[in-house]
Amino acid sequence: MRALKEISSLVLLVCCGLTCHLSAQNQSPCCKSIEKSACVQALPVYADVNQPIEARVEDALARMTLEEKVALCHAQSKFSSTGVPRLGIPEVWHSDGPHGVREEIEWDSWSPAGWTNDSITAFPALTCLAATFNPRLSMAYGISVGEEARYRKKNVLLGPGVNIYRTPFNGRNFEYLGEDPFLASRMVVPYIKGVQSNGVATCVKHFALNNQEEDRMHIDVEVSDRALHEIYLPAFKAAVQQGGAWSIMGSYNKYKGQHGCHNEWLLKRILKEEWGFDGAVVSDWGGTHDTKEAALNGLDIEMGTYTNGLSTGRAFAYDDYYLANPFLQLLKSGEIPVSVVDDKARRVLRLIFRTSLAPNRPLGRTVCEDHSRVARQIATEGMVLLKNDQSILPLSVKAGQRIAVIGENAVRSLTKGGGSSELKPKYEVAPLVAMKAAFGAKNILFSYGYSSGRPLYDKVEKAPYDADSLLQAAVKTASQADVIVLVGGLNKNNSQDCEGGDRTEFGLPFGQEALIPALAALNKPLVVVLMSGNAVAMPWLKDAGAVLQAWYTGSEAGNALVDILTGAVNPSGKLPFTFPKRLEDNAAHSFGALSYPGDNVKQQYMEDILVGYRWHDTKRIAPQFPFGFGLSYTSFELGQVTASAPSYQAEDVIRLTLTLSNTGQRDGAEVVQVYASQRKPSVSRPVKELKAFQKVFLKAGERKTVTLDLKASDLAFYDEAAKAWKLENDTYTLQVGTSSNPSKNKVDVTINAASK
């Protein structure tokens, strides 16, 4: 049905019905009376793809009724909003899916539509993408997922998410790009460009301060202007000004007493006025609460609102949405000027002309070899080797030796659950399946070890397993093997990595913290693989010979894991957020309940700008694993860094140069990271902040010269009094290393004649 609607809309754009709209409000079709050639010659400006978009927008707007303009501003179904059928302008189709295009949903409910042709490639979660520290891969990711969205005839892909990792309890951290605003900014821009190269809009979310799921619908976030601009807004700003994002999604939470989906400060003043955003603001589903605020404070398309119309027996009362009939009545009464709806309609029309009605729009493709290759490469480059005592990894299994694979996550689908990012993959290679293929089925033993709640039955004992019997069965299985690989971590159930609620414990769930020491007691090589989107407590760290952070990696999860375990791919991932030793070592949690999760009404970001490694370094709290950390199967050596000049002015580019050598026996990649600090700032500043990075691939024994550029203006801080960025005349230390850990490889530069 949707395909017929799309075809009909396109036919209207090239057929003679358009000629009718050259006159007043004639809505009668005239295809029978006018030749096609005459129709094409008479195409109005808005239908002519050779005309500039702004000319098309203004022409279409001039032909629309007030009712048609309002109709553009709210949903017509669960995942679509209307176009202008009379003018042949098609509807807008949205889809969840920062990690892949979501399955089709029924018109009026969250239930699956039951299509048989909506399976897709499941790409790794964005935490894994961030861990690659590779913007080129981010572009490939965006192109690939954009092709799949285009193939499914979507206009808007709801993602990527760039909310900052503030607490390891946030249920949606796996959807985001880590704790550092510079890393998130560098990674989000190519993703956006890749998706939008397919004529599909990204909808960057959730703008802004949606950094937890607990009380997300109403919590009022109190944060300093400095932390807002230095930590929580940069990735959104980069998405708009560098990535050219065509739409932005508002957030559920409040800021300064107003909900994020109609927030005067965030949407109107910052996004549209200060940053010059020309796209459409889309509400999060059910995130709209007031007609006047929504109309006047920057919301353009209202989605997912539940209204009182439900009580009348109608499934979804779309005409009762805040930006539907209530908005129309205020416009007709003159209480809200027509210029307000004109601005919204312009933005929605611009979105449509950039997507559905764009010239030379690609056709898209889905579940193809190229997409599988990209998914697998992102997964392998993103996995982070955290520990590798005695070089247990890569696995070297001799003939006749056996591997015990323990853990529910070795067989569980980790593309299911998690909320709106749940996927329906065409295929998903489980770790156990991939390990049997790699090592031979007869050499692989398996036991669950733990269960996340689903009933498991012991066929030998003819009784259900409980936590103790699962542990004992795993120990028995592992005792018969030469190497143990525990595939555990979290999952996408409630209170795990899941939308709608936060985690409730920092440790590994389901008895894994007892399971790991029990397996270690067998005195066999033990590899712990963590599939999760969050940091976890590691009281068992001393018991594991190797630890691999493997994230949620989608369709190619098992194959990518085997690539790393066998050494077919040398791990090169780096942590995009800090792993604290204790929960109270995390900045947000260190200040108590009012800082996280708040008092149910408001919360205060008491750590201010000291998020993640900024907190650990400044307060000298040793982390379990630092931001930017990740081991390799080879070794690297950094030469002494030098700067292109001793002093710079605000508009200058600082160029750093050093050599990087692969001193080991395997090809591999290292991420060179630059952290900056100011010697005598007039305000408190973190000990250091990431300002540049580059991923460098080297063959065994190879040496390369690496150059890293950063703008002198990137060393500025946000001056709350002046409400502007300020770069002070001072000496700045640029530290170069392979994580946020302190490094002696540094150079000092001086900023002179600094300007705002």
Cα separation, 97 vs 94, in Å, equals 10
Whether the CB-CB separation of 576 and 627 falls below 8 Å is answered with yes
- 101: which residues sit within 8 A by CB, 6+ positions away? 95, 118, 120, 145, 148, 149, 152, 154, 157, 366
Give the burial class of 122: count Cβ atoms within 10 A of its Cβ; 0-12 exposed, 13-18 middle, 19 or more buried: buried
Pairing of strands 254-255, 220-222: parallel
Q: Which of 180, 215, 284, 585 is catalytic?
A: 284
Q: CB of 626 within 8 A of CB of 739? A: yes
Helix extents (H) in 72-180: 126-132, 135-151
- Give the single-character DSSP code of 265: I
Residue 108 annotated as catalytic: no
H/E stretch holding 675 reads strand 668-678
* Residue 280: alpha-carbon gap to chain centroid: 19
Token readout for 704 is 């390369």
Residue 400 neighbours by CB distance under 10 Å:
8
CA neighbor of 156 nearest in space, from 79, 47, 68: 79
**In this structure, what are the phi and psi dihedrals at residue 442, rounded to the nearest 5 degrees?**
-70, -15
Token reading at 306: 């539940």
- Phi then psi for residue 92, to 5 deg, are -105, 125
User: Which amino acid, 33?
Assistant: S
- The rounded distance, in Å, linking the Cα atoms of 132 and 20 is 54
Cβ pair 709, 654 in contact under 8 A:
yes
**Which residue, among 10, 200, 3, has the nearest Cα to 89 in the 3D structure?**
10
Q: What sign does the CA torsion over 693, 698, 701, 707 have?
A: negative
Q: Give the phi and the psi of residue 426 in degrees, each rounded to 5.
A: -65, -35
Beta-strand relationship, 201-207 and 247-250: parallel
Q: Is 40 exposed, middle or buried (0-12, 13-18, 19+ CB in 10 A)?
A: middle
Residues with catalytic function = 284
